[in-house]
Amino acid sequence: MKTLLATLATFIFAATVAVAEMKHMDHSNMSMSDEQMEGAVHAKAVINSIGDGVANVTHDPIPEIGWPAMTMDLTVLENAQMMGEVAAGDEVTLMLVKGDDGMYAIGAMMPN
Ligand SMILES: [Cu+2]
């Protein structure tokens, strides 16, 4: 009987988790995955140029990931959220998320 109860409890727990997972999936209208959001970092930057899927930026240090201030090219993710118009010369806050290749890429950009 104890075994049966334990099995039942495990089953109910598993079912609860499954339902929680499904509810979780309903949030997929967010364009970034939860995994990406967890590892996301923010940095202030100046946009030097922005083009097809890539932006050259000069960003402030990002201590969370050990980056010093630098000028670099960053991939702009296809589903990146652009909060307003961003053009070369603009000061922005970047949200960087890890892309599929493990490299940080721009997941969102908002003018300062
Ligand atoms: Cu950099």
Ligand 1 midpoint to CA 11 (Å):
48
Q: Token digits for 42? A: 């923010």
pLDDT tens for each residue of 17-34? 444 444 444 444 457 788
Answer yes or no: do 56 and 84 share one domain. Answer: yes
Q: Are residues 67 and 74 in contact, defined by beta-carbon separation less than 8 angstroms?
A: no
Question: Do 68 and 92 fall into the same domain?
Answer: yes
* pTM reported for the whole predicted model: 0.70
CATH number of the domain within which 106 lies: 2.40.50.320
Task: Using the mean position of ligand 1's atoms as its centre, give its distance from the Cα of residue 81 in Å.
Answer: 20
pLDDT in tens, 65-101: 999 999 999 999 988 999 888 999 999 999 999 977 8
CB contact at 8 A, 111 and 64: no
Q: Which helix (H) or strand (E) holds 57?
A: strand 54-59
Rounded to the nearest whole angstrom, what is the distance from the C-alpha of residue 94 to the centroid of ligand 1? Answer: 11
State which residues form the domain around 69: 36-111
DSSP 67: B
Residues 50 and 100 grouped into a single domain: yes
78-to-7, 45, 98 alpha-carbon distances in Å: 46, 20, 13
Percent of the chain with pLDDT over 90: 54
Query: What is the whole-number distance in angstroms between the Cα of residue 59 and the centre of ligand 1?
Result: 6
